[in-house]
Amino acid sequence: MTLRALFSVSDKSGLVAFAQRLHDAGIELIASGGTAGQLADAGLPVRPTEALTGFPDLLGGRVKTLHPAIHGGILARRTPDHLAELARHGLPTIDLVVVNLYPFQRTVAAAGVALADAVEQIDIGGVALLRAAAKNFESVAVVCEPSDYDRVALAIAEGGLEAGTRRELALKAFRHTAEYDAAIAGYLADQQPAAPDKTPGKVALPAQIDLSLERVQVMRYGENPHQQGALYRYAGDEGPAFEQLHGQEMSYNNWLDLDGSWQAARDFDEPTAAIIKHSNPCGLASADTLAAAYENALASDPVSAFGGIIAVNRRLDLATAERMSKLFVEIVAAPAYDGEALALLKRKKNLRILRGTGAAGHPLSLRSVYGGALVQELDSSREDLDPANWRVVSARRPGAEQLADLAFAWRVCRHVRSNAIVYAKGRATVGVGAGQMSRVDSVMLAGHKAGERSKGAVMASDAFFPFADGIEAAAEHGIAAIVQPGGSIRDEEVIAAVDRLGLVMAFSGTRHFRH
């Protein structure tokens, strides 16, 4: 019995070599359009789909394989009645379907793509072929990714694809078409006209989110040993956000802390190091060199830094690695590493070393809640980060150095869990108060962490002060200048306390809660 393979691929990588191996195994080749042309140019005997259907490509290629002569041969069970029905109509069986789809996701990712161009990249026939072959996996194998060519060709050469492999390939095909449809639905939803009251420049929150995640790693446990845990990534992403270069497997809590440290470090333009413990910065600093930034970040809270997570926003050099190697930390993450620096860090057997790949992030934040999910755009505001957009409300004006420290502390503050208070001096944190139920408690905690270093430092608060007590507590610790959003009904009372204590205060106008 002759076996047949149908090819219809957008991505031609590996095509000819794979088809050659199938031909050598005695499989008849059928192909559509440009795929048939490429195989014929390579000298392979190939039967064009129009020879089966009796129709040429129609509508500029929109219709090529949507025909009973194609889908009958794919969907037929290998039972006497189905095979007899095919024979009555002179239709051959098709045993292997090799299809990859038009590059819709890549097309719409390009800047300025027109809707009409995007629509033309919506594959119809390819999706139908994949679903038909996947449905009939008991008899038909389906291949939707060139990465599977080698193992499929090898299995066929060794006697055929096992039932379990066909089922696995079918599952992959169904997931592939689901992700494809979700990408199309998401794109078209984004093209809907904005509501009349929509704020310009804001990320559109769609009426429906079709979420497809693929599991990357099963962990020993989740946040605690009695909980299961796994890492998933958005299906269809070109690659992982991080490449692990060394060390033990990442845990659930490792990934949580890495997320906080990576986002904090990359939020700064100057060389910056962020040291995170339990999702909060215990030290963060910017400096002229990465080594200096790390030293200053560590000095913020060296006790809490023990066993922490370090992320930097520059290529990690040997000078910085030498300093890091003196401290026990769980993870070091950087966009790149000098060879000597990487070699030095790898001497620590259990240190997890990760490289950020530069994979694009997603504009929305999703958090599961009982019965559903909360969705918001990421906190990536820019205007309030520039002190030129602030309003100085105190009688005393800030100096240039003081203003620079306030801007630094304000940027750090949005990476600290609420209620968030940041003490800073010289573009480095000296004390952080995070996650307290009372804002004045966060002020006192930051002061406790800072000790004598709080004298003359500045303070940032992620939300307004509802009472003057927080200002008074900061003054007791020696804070000289404050930035906060403002907006309390007691702002005048708070400003009066600032002036009475001889402090500087500016309102940023933007709140940065992080729960």
Residues annotated as catalytic (active site), given as ranges: 135, 278
Whether residue 76 contacts residue 83, with contact meaning beta carbons closer than 8 Å, is answered with yes
Whether residue 290 contacts residue 273, with contact meaning beta carbons closer than 8 Å, is answered with yes
Half-sphere exposure of 506 (CA within 13 A, CB side): 28
Cα-only R_g, the chain = 30
Produce one character per residue of 178-190: b if its CB has 16 or more CB atoms within 10 Å, e if not.
Answer: ebbebbbebbeee
| Positions of E strands within 22-168 | 28-31, 46-48, 96-100, 141-143
Please give the Cα distance from 150 to 164 (Å, whole number).
17
Whether residue 339 contacts residue 305, with contact meaning beta carbons closer than 8 Å, is answered with no
Residue 420: burial class (beta carbons within 10 Å; 0-12, 13-18, 19+): buried
User: What one-letter code names the amino acid at 506?
Assistant: A
Residue 386: burial class (beta carbons within 10 Å; 0-12, 13-18, 19+): exposed
Whether residue 424 contacts residue 460, with contact meaning beta carbons closer than 8 Å, is answered with yes
